[in-house]
Every structure is written in structure tokens, then in C-alpha cells.
Amino acid sequence: MDIRIAADTAARTPGRPREFEIEQALDKAIIVFSAKGYHGTSISDLKEAMGLTAGSLYKAFKDKKAIFLASFDRYKQVRNAVLDAELQKAVDGRDKVLRMLRVYSDASLGEAGRRGCLVVGTAVELAAYDTEAAERVQASMSRTEDLLQALVRQGQADGSIRSSMDAADMARLLLSVVYGLRVIGKTGPTPEHASSIVDAAMKLLD
Amino acid sequence: MDIRIAADTAARTPGRPREFEIEQALDKAIIVFSAKGYHGTSISDLKEAMGLTAGSLYKAFKDKKAIFLASFDRYKQVRNAVLDAELQKAVDGRDKVLRMLRVYSDASLGEAGRRGCLVVGTAVELAAYDTEAAERVQASMSRTEDLLQALVRQGQADGSIRSSMDAADMARLLLSVVYGLRVIGKTGPTPEHASSIVDAAMKLLD
DNA sequence: CCTATTCGGAAACGATCGTTTCCTATTAGG
DNA sequence: CCTAATAGGAAACGATCGTTTCCGAATAGG
């Protein structure tokens, strides 16, 4: 069985092999889509940013929409990895919430902040009339809300977060705060500005 | 002097008079721009929504960008009027904050919520590379933040809001909450969902 | 009444959009 | 070594984009 698996992983697809890494190309696409939005990004923009010709693009992806959705999925994967790594450093529930807020507030600063969040961007630009985009946004938002709620519950269980407020309500408010941070980040707040929002939000946990 | 003013207001411009009201047309444009964004809205979309031909559009506005900016300004004017009317009903500072949050939360529900906020949409889609759009977004956000801060200070002065937290910090957090509400509204939260966010935010004032 | 000016509307403009085609290059398998 | 299959790349596709032009209709001022 090991042999068969080894053979499978070693197996190459027939024909000329691709000369670029899909994920690296998507990382470039994410930057363009985040800054200019879906409709504001042309295939020419993507060709330049990803260093590919139209032929290679359309062999790797069905159409522009597929490039966008793949970028969205890759974005979620990368951001979730950053978040998970940060959460592992936390000592209790309250610390986890704090670190999560800081991940969002850091992402809202400077160049990355002006570039923006692909989830927020997709929600604002596409969710109203594109079902596929709306589903991914909805799933992403639910996931983030659920995570926040779990962190709050953990903090309430370990005593680091007050239990006098419903965890679900607290999570929804914090969800609103993090997306708001991403919106405010588009016009470039100062680090002090962003961290004051995080600090104020944390007072809710007392 | 009264006579001169009356003559001025009565003065008509030469040539054939315009057959539509600019502000009514802009109200239609706002709906389209909010739902589909700037780049997602074509001149054909605007023609259909506003009930105009390209000729009339380009005689009333320099170009597509000018239509958008005029829509943005009109949107701000309309929303500010709604907000001001609501604030006048309030009995104290805390009540003003509550009513302001409710104005945003109401706007985030149902069809209007899915359509979205033109300020948030412009921030997300255009602010990163369009200076003119970024300036208006920045001005709008600052104005909203300043208003929130003034309301909080008023509440702290009349004793309806706790003074143990800095008004500027509180205002920034609430600013983040209202923009977050608008983002969440794009995927259609339930009224209970939205009002639970408002209720949770109000607990910050205790 | 005549002239100047603006509007409404249809048609047409070049530019750019997203996408496809076609040819060559490069690989795997028999 | 030959065949099948895929990738890279340039050129070209029809469609749609934002915008302009042109013409008849409607108004104000002299």
C-alpha cells in the first residue's frame, strides 16, 4: 500500500509540466484583487501581477471568476494560518480574544490595511448579486463568529472573561468590531488609533 | 435686496429646460452603485435605473466618476438627514448614541442592508487608489467619529454614560461597530442578530 | 420672430474587456 | 522514437465599456 501511495504521489500528469506555482501566483492575485476589487481588476492586471500570459491563466483556471474564487480560498487559508499560529501562543481565553483582535488590527494598518480584506471586499462588492461569492463570505463570517464565540466561552470558563454577558452576543459584537477595523483600515488609521479600538473592545470582557 | 434675490432665484438658464430632477435621478443611481459598486455599474445600468439616455447623462455630469461622486454626496446628505431627525428625538446623550446605533443597524437589515452603505463601499472599492474618493471617505468617517465622540461626551456630562472610559476611545470603538454592522448587513443578518449587536455595544456605556 | 443655447435621444466612436485560437515547446508512456 | 497531452505565448475574437457626435425639440432674450 505504501508503494502504491508513493507511486501515486510521484505520478506526473502527461504533457508539459506547469512552470509556475499556483499558490505563489494566487498570492500575487490576492494583492491585486484586494486593492482594486473584482471588477476593478482586469485580466491584464492579473497577467502583469502574476507574471503569466493569458494562455497559461486560462489553462490553470476556467475564467476570471475562478481565479478570484481560488484567490479568496487561498486568502482564507493564509489568514487562518496566521490566526491559528497566534492563538496557540495564548495563555487563556481572554488572551486568545486579545490576540485575535490584534491579528485583525495589525492587518488593518499601513499598506496591508489600505489594500484591504478580501472577505470584506467580496462581501461589499459581490455578495449582493453573486450567489457563489455570497456563500463563501457567509461561510467565512460564520466561521469567524463561531471561533470568537468559542474563545469567549473558554475565557468565561477559565475566569478571564466576565460571565455576566452572553457569549454569543459578545462574539457578534466583536465580529462587528473586526470587520469595522478592516473598513477603517482602508483610509489608513494610525497604529495608536487601531490599538485604542482593540483596547476599548477588550474592556467589554471585564 | 429681497427683489434682487427673488429675481435671481426666478432666473432661468437659457435653452431647453431639463426634464428630470437631478436629485431624484441620483437617488436611483445610489441604489445601483450601492449594490454593484463603481466598476460593477455600467453606464447602461445607470441609464436604465435613472431613466435617462447617454446624452442627458453626459450633459448633466462630466463623466461616470462625476455621477458617482454626486451620488456619494447625495447619499451622505440623505443619510445625515435621517440621522439628525432621529437624534433630535433623544432625551440624553446615551439615548442619542443608542438612536444612532439603531439608525445604522436598521440600514443594515433586509434589502437595504444587502444593498449596502455607499461610504463603506467606496472605502473598500476605491479608496486604495482613487484620491478623490479616498478624501470623501476620510471626511465622512472623521465626521461620523467626531459626532459619536460629541454624543458620548454629552452623555458623560449628563451622567447617562460612564466617565471611566475615554470618550475618544469609546467613539472610535463605536465607529468600528457601525461600519462592521454595514459589512455584516451585506449577507443579511436577522433583526435579532443586528439588535443584539447594538445592545451589546450599549453595555460599553455602563 | 429670430438667434443663441440647452436638452433628449439615437447612432457611432475607439478602447478595452474577458476569452479563444493557433502554434511551438516540453513532458510521459508505449 | 513516436504519439498523446499539456504548457507557454502571441495574436485575434466578439462584446461591451465609457464617451462623443449629430440632429430635432424646446426654451430665453433681444
On the 0-12 / 13-18 / 19+ scale of CB atoms within 10 A, B164 is: exposed
Alpha helices in chain A (DSSP H): 2-10, 22-40, 43-50, 54-60, 64-87, 93-107, 110-115, 118-125, 131-158, 167-184, 191-202
In terms of domains, do A108 and A151 share one? yes
| Interface predicted TM-score of the whole assembly (ipTM), two decimals | 0.93
Confidence (pLDDT) at B11: 54
Please, which residues 124-163 of chain B have a Cβ atom closer than 8 Å to chain A?
A: 124-125, 127-129, 134, 137-138, 141
Give, to the nearest 10 degrees, the angle between helix A167-184 and helix B167-184: 90
Cβ pair A40:B35 closer than 8 A:
no
**Average pLDDT in the B130-144 region?**
97
B40-91 pLDDT, tens digit each: 999 999 999 999 999 999 999 999 999 999 999 999 999 999 999 999 999 9
Q: Please, which pLDDT band fits residue A9 given cuts at 50, 70 and 90?
A: very low
Confidence (pLDDT) at A26: 98
In a domain, B4, yes or no: no
**Average pLDDT in the B26-43 region?**
98
CATH number of domain containing A54: 1.10.10.60
Which residues constitute the domain of residue A158?
A: 89-206
Which three three-digit cell numbers place residue B83? 440621522
**What total of structural domains would you count in chain B?**
1
Closest by CA to B188, choosing from B103, B107, B113, B105, is B113
Q: Does A115 touch chain B (CB under 8 A)?
A: yes
In a domain, A60, yes or no: yes
B74 three-state secondary structure: helix
CATH number of domain containing B149: 1.10.357.10
Cβ pair B172:A37 closer than 8 A:
no
In terms of domains, do A96 and A56 share one? no
A130-178 pLDDT, tens digit each: 999 999 999 999 999 999 999 999 999 999 999 999 999 999 999 999 9
In terms of domains, do A99 and A196 share one? yes
In a domain, B115, yes or no: yes
Interface test with B, best of A111, A122, A124 (most B CBs within 10 A): A124
E-assigned strand segments in B6-156: none
Confidence (pLDDT) at A12: 66
Within 8 A by CB and 6+ apart from A152, the residues are: A93, A97, A161, A167, A170, A171, A174, A205
In terms of domains, do A61 and A139 share one? no
B140-198 pLDDT, tens digit each: 999 999 999 999 999 999 999 999 999 999 999 999 999 999 999 999 888 999 999 99
Could you say which DSSP state residue A188 is in? -
Cβ pair B114:A123 closer than 8 A:
no
Distance CA A190, CA A108 (A): 10
> What number of CA atoms fall less than 13 Å from residue B38's CA on the CB side?
27
In a domain, B7, yes or no: no
In a domain, A51, yes or no: yes
Percentage of chain A beyond pLDDT 70 is: 94
Mean pLDDT, chain A, whole residue set? 93
In terms of domains, do A106 and A205 share one? yes
In a domain, A83, yes or no: no
In terms of domains, do A23 and A56 share one? yes
Distance CA A137, CA B87 (A): 33
